[in-house]
Structure 1
Amino acid sequence: MEHLTTLDAGFLEAEDSDRHVSLAIGGLAVMEGPAPDHASLVSVLAERVSEIPRFTQVVRTHPLDLAAPEWVDDPQFDLAHHVHRIALPQPGNDAALYRVVADIMERRLDRDRPLWESWTIEGLAEDRWAVLTKLHHCIADGISATRLLAGLCDGPDAETFANRIRAAAESSAPRPSGPSLNPLDWAGGIWHLSTAVTSAAARIATGAAQIVAGVLNPTDSSLIGSVSNLRRYSAAEVLLSDVALICHKFDVTINDVALAAITDSFRAMLMHRGEQPQRNSLRTLVPVSVRSADASNQLDNRVSLMLPYLPIELDDPVERLHAVHRRLTRVKSGGQRQAGSAFFSAANYIPFALTAWAVRLLTRLPQLGIVALATNVPGPRRRLRMMGRNVLRLLPIPPIALHLRTGIAMLSYGDDLVFGITADYDAVPDVDELADGIERAVARLVAISEGAG
């Protein structure tokens, strides 16, 4: 019997804090046709689901939160409760597909059953079909969910970028050799250890203070506020080769380029609404993986966070790109990632009743400082196949909650970088403009890079 971690259980508490929220994450695979018949699809899914314990388990809670919730086998598991089929209205374009995706994702998963669903979507234009896989965030973070979804495809687990994330690289530091018999070495070791501990504690304290300030300092923007129970979804796609060109020209990272493009599009959207972007208008929640290489196949959440102000007040795209790079570098060195990781790790050693009460209280307090979510997930390097069909597109679907009206998930797939955007239906009717703006922003940086070259 396996217990949920404090972070995993926190996603259940956050969902309970707002009846308008569904904290499920999703992946949409668009495939070349024709679609298989339903019986064949169910047969294949039944075989592959049987190899994933979480897909046949339910969450069992304890009275008064005397212990953490547990994963237990569902004695009444029935695949028919989880596998569904639906057809798009004509003409079956992306707008119709995204509307169906939003409709499916906005509904909560049934806690009395395993927390996932698979939807086969037929009727796409150009003889295509799609599979939408939806699972609760308490099961997995973006990296582990991507590996899980890739495992549902044909062949062995797809090669991903997950082994190249920062946490995996940091975990490969050489182990110390055996203990020394020289007392001078003991003294030096104690000195270095105390210095390292003091430095780490100071960095964590600084990072924790920055996180608290980011949550408590209010932001005056239409991007933040209560959410309804309806969602919109849209997506943007750019070539990774274009992003690499920008990275090479301006000595920045893929994440810098992606966040700069998001910032550019948010700026255009706010100005179209008649709002003047300010320096504090776009404080963004940026999850950071702390997953080590030896935990790449574990289904759970292993993330920390950063809360940078994205430079939405800047008009020049190159200046904005450099500002994103500088601010992320400063935030990374400021201890926010370490503070978040230390908090979630320490919480697992505190009686669950206390942490559950604290999380329940915190998720019910209206936060007024963070306006958007932007998460970057390394995806499969190679194109996938499912039931013998090529997966043409792979789109991530993030949730929104806690007064964040817009969530953007970035996923690399083959030669593309895909931006999946979930937004509140009433608060962000211009979600398609946000997606188009991201593509325009990358194209503008590409043109500048080529012109300057």
Structure 2
Amino acid sequence: MSNANPDTSNRVRIERAGPADLTVLATDRGPVPMNIGAILEFDAAPGPDLSTLRTHLAERIPSIPRLRQRLQRVPFGCGRPVWVDDPGFTLEQHLAEQDWPVPADERRLFDLAAEFVCTPLPHDRPLWQARLVTDRSGGRSALIVVLHHVLADGLGGLAVLAALTDGGPLVAGPVFPQPPPSRKTLAADAARAKLAAVRALPVAMRRGFAGLRELGFGRRWPRLVEPTSLNRPTSSRRRLTRITVPLADVTSLAHRHHGTVNDVVVTAVTGAMLAVLRARGEHPDRLVVSVPISGRRSTTADRLGNATGVRPVSVPAIADDETRLARIVAATSAAREHLPDRASSGGPLGSAFRALSRLGLFRLFIDHQRMVHTFVTNLRGPAEPVELAGFRVRSLVPLVVTPGNAGVTFAVLSYAGELGITLVADPAIVPEQVE
């Protein structure tokens, strides 16, 4: 999570990248960038035009300071990078329009979104882009929004969505652009931060040990996962497939087994993976799923950044879904009971990943890691349909791309009574997705 320290001497606000943000930057290696995003498909036809969207976003963006800031490195001895206002910011640099490829169906929209989210964002300007996709013949339209992960985690992304949509609070931000902090100011702030870190060392050590337990380092060293054909170094391409189910049905199933919606999701995605592997003649004893854990219950559009850890969930390769769900519920319930420090794994994991990056070994590590088989992100989205610029959003599709050797990952989001599961796969590793 980003740190903000007010500078009382010259009233310049210092907003630094937090430790988890630095981990995102250090691990942005590989053929796909560390981007997240969403597809907002509008209900009405015709949907909003480019001029309408520009007017709406111009009104809303001042409520989200990070959308007009860029991350700037600082001189030696001045601490972590800082977020500074971009005096050259223009909405035209970030919002463009594109025709919906023919035929104008969901497949073409998803292919376009996959290409968009896999394209690196320029780091000399605020780290986001949006594309209005319009079907000239039928009038359908959708908005694809992409953010670099350093700007926000999943919870922060939802806060950005809430601030951009109709009905969100219009907060008057500071005068834009604010001048960047001076080198002297940065050095003094960095010195204070180092002193505070020394004082907080006992707490940091306690959270570090808790983080190791969250990662599974307890009485026994975690076992390496079994290699599978779904775990190979991925390319720069991704293909999206989405299914939706009534959220009430999933919630009811979870409650009957004394579990959570996420337990049901992990059961479903591991069942799908096991089916693919068995069809390929592979029979692993278990699959290990990495599930992100947020260090905060909520956030706002003016407090973004990253504050997450991960929890590996070991899932036995049991064909029966009910039995597999029961085992998952037992494992996750025990983990929640014995791990009160949420997201504490971000500390030791981040330190290890940043060290590998400094040594130039992170790409090698993620391309051949045997810690997990896949990643599942699950967020609770708006319970009711939202509107953007007066147009109702019919569907909200999450976008997450992950570098490394996880050939298939899953992004899950509830919206307006539906639970959507987006399967994100490298088509060279999962050709079954195309069939």
Letter in 1 for 2:285: R
Q: Is the 8 A contact 2:63 2:302 kept in 1?
A: no
The reply on whether 1:2 has 2:15 as its aligned counterpart is: yes
Q: Among 320, 324, 329, which residue is 1:320 paired with?
A: 324
Equivalents in 2 of 1:78, 1:294: separation in Å? 26
Equivalents in 2 of 1:30, 1:286: separation in Å? 27
Q: Is the 8 A contact 1:412 1:418 kept in 2?
A: yes
The reply on whether 1:12 has 2:33 as its aligned counterpart is: no
Superposition deviation, residue 244 in structure 1: 2.4
Per the alignment, residue 48 of structure 2 pairs with 36
What does 1:123-272 correspond to in 2, within 5 Å? 123=135, 127-156=139-168, 206-208=213-215, 210=217, 213-214=221-222, 217-272=224-279
Per the alignment, residue 177 of structure 2 pairs with none
What does 1:15-414 correspond to in 2, within 5 Å? 15=28, 17-18=29-30, 20-32=31-43, 33-62=45-74, 67-123=79-135, 127-156=139-168, 206-208=213-215, 210=217, 213-214=221-222, 217-276=224-283, 278-280=284-286, 282-293=287-298, 298-311=303-316, 313-333=317-337, 335=339, 338=341, 341=344, 344=347, 356-357=354-355, 359-361=357-359, 363-364=362-363, 365=365, 366-414=368-416
Superposition deviation, residue 107 in structure 1: 0.5
Q: Is the 8 A contact 1:380 1:412 kept in 2?
A: yes
Equivalents in 2 of 1:344, 1:248: separation in Å? 32
In the superposition, relative to structure 1, how do residues 197 and 77 fare at CA in structure 2: closer, same or farther (>3 Å)? closer
Superposition deviation, residue 294 in structure 1: 6.9
Q: Is the 8 A contact 1:368 1:403 kept in 2?
A: no
Letter in 1 for 2:292: P
Name the SS of the counterpart of 1:102 in structure 2.
helix
Per the alignment, residue 184 of structure 1 pairs with none
Equivalents in 2 of 1:201, 1:64: separation in Å? 27
1:216-267: CA deviation from partner (whole Å, max 9, x where unpaired):
7243112222111111112111101211231243332211111111111111
Name the SS of the counterpart of 1:310 in structure 2.
strand
Per the alignment, residue 442 of structure 1 pairs with none
Name the SS of the counterpart of 1:307 in structure 2.
strand
Cα RMSD over matched residues?
A: 3.1
What does 1:433-448 correspond to in 2, within 5 Å? none
In the superposition, relative to structure 1, how do residues 213 and 127 fare at CA in structure 2: closer, same or farther (>3 Å)? farther
Superposition deviation, residue 308 in structure 1: 1.1
Letter in 2 for 1:426: A
In the superposition, relative to structure 1, how do residues 267 and 52 fare at CA in structure 2: closer, same or farther (>3 Å)? same
Letter in 2 for 1:402: G
Equivalents in 1 of 2:96, 2:209: separation in Å? 52
Letter in 1 for 2:408: T
Equivalents in 1 of 2:62, 2:342: separation in Å? 38
> With structure 2 as the length reference, what TM-score do the two structures score?
0.80
Letter in 2 for 1:5: G
Give the percent of matched residue pairs that are identical in Structure 1 and Structure 2: 28
Q: Is the 8 A contact 1:208 1:339 kept in 2?
A: no
Q: Is the 8 A contact 1:283 1:309 kept in 2?
A: yes
In the superposition, relative to structure 1, how do residues 270 and 13 fare at CA in structure 2: closer, same or farther (>3 Å)? same
In the superposition, relative to structure 1, how do residues 85 and 412 fare at CA in structure 2: closer, same or farther (>3 Å)? same
1:394-447: CA deviation from partner (whole Å, max 9, x where unpaired):
1111121232222211111111011122222321223367xxxxxxxxxxxxxx
Q: Which runs of 5+ in 2 are unaligned?
A: 1-13, 171-202
Q: Is the 8 A contact 1:65 1:356 kept in 2?
A: no
Which stretch of structure 1 is more off in the superposition, 105-114 or 54-63? Answer: 54-63
Equivalents in 1 of 2:216, 2:167: separation in Å? 47
Equivalents in 2 of 1:45, 1:332: separation in Å? 40
Greater fraction helix: 1
Q: Is the 8 A contact 1:3 1:69 kept in 2?
A: yes
> With structure 1 as the length reference, what TM-score do the two structures score?
0.77
1:90-120: CA deviation from partner (whole Å, max 9, x where unpaired):
2211111111111111111111111001111
Q: Which runs of 5+ in 1 are unaligned?
A: 159-195, 434-453
Superposition deviation, residue 296 in structure 1: 8.2
